[in-house]
């Protein structure tokens, strides 16, 4: 496997994605963005590069681009709770709180009994609609866990 170096190739794209993430975390978003873009030009479905670019887009208040990338990511990794939560954050970054709610609710049903999604959905519903809404999420989550346990024992 190649190390992080230019030009970006299929052999070194993962190393470059890690390096781009380090650049972003180190306060160099422009350089990170250029590297993520170069990786995605070579390999449009590179999940690490997509995740990194989405984080930059959210931070940079570019919600529309973040949503496009996050939707692509969810298409590639439909069972990833992390990626569903990232899509919800992208929708929030664009100011689409209703879309973010729907995204979380869909993820809650598509990936049943997932703690991360449950916590995010419960927190969101409680802050918006109060204890009754949170209780509804609790009841549904308990049902999902029970069904999952049943499947595991059968």
pLDDT in tens, 98-111: 999 999 999 999 99
pLDDT interval class at 4 (50, 70, 90): confident
- Asked if 45 contacts 29 with a C-beta cutoff of 8 angstroms, the reply is no
Give the burial class of 66: count Cβ atoms within 10 A of its Cβ; 0-12 exposed, 13-18 middle, 19 or more buried: buried
Distance, C-alpha 19 to centroid of its chain: 20
- Of residues 6 and 38, the one with the higher pLDDT is 38
pLDDT interval class at 153 (50, 70, 90): confident
Average pLDDT value over all residues in the chain:
94
Distances (CA, A) of 57 to 61, 63, 114: 6, 6, 26
What is the Cα–Cα distance from 130 to 124, expressed in whole angstroms? 9
Residue 151, pLDDT score: 86
Neighbours of 124 (CB within 10 A): 20
What is the Cα–Cα distance from 76 to 141, expressed in whole angstroms? 25
pLDDT interval class at 2 (50, 70, 90): low
Nearest Cα neighbor of 22 from 48, 60, 57 is 48
pLDDT in tens, 50-90: 999 999 999 998 889 999 999 999 999 999 999 999 999 99
């Amino acid at each position: 496997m190649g190390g992080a170096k230019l030009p970006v190739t299929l052999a070194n794209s993962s190393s470059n994605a890690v390096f781009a993430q380090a650049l972003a975390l180190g306060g160099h978003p422009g350089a990170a963005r250029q590297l993520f873009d170069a990786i995605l030009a070579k390999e449009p479905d590179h999940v690490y590069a997509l995740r990194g670019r989405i984080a930059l887009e959210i931070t940079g208040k570019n919600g529309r681009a973040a949503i496009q990338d996050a939707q692509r990511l969810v298409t590639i990794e439909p069972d990833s709770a992390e990626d569903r939560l990232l899509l919800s954050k992208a929708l929030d970054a664009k100011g689409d709180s209703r879309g973010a709610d729907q995204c979380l609710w869909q993820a809650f049903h598509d990936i049943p009994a997932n703690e991360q999604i449950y916590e995010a959905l419960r927190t969101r519903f409680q802050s918006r609609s109060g204890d009754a809404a949170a209780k509804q999420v609790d009841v549904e989550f308990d049902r999902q866990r029970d069904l999952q346990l049943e499947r595991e024992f059968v």
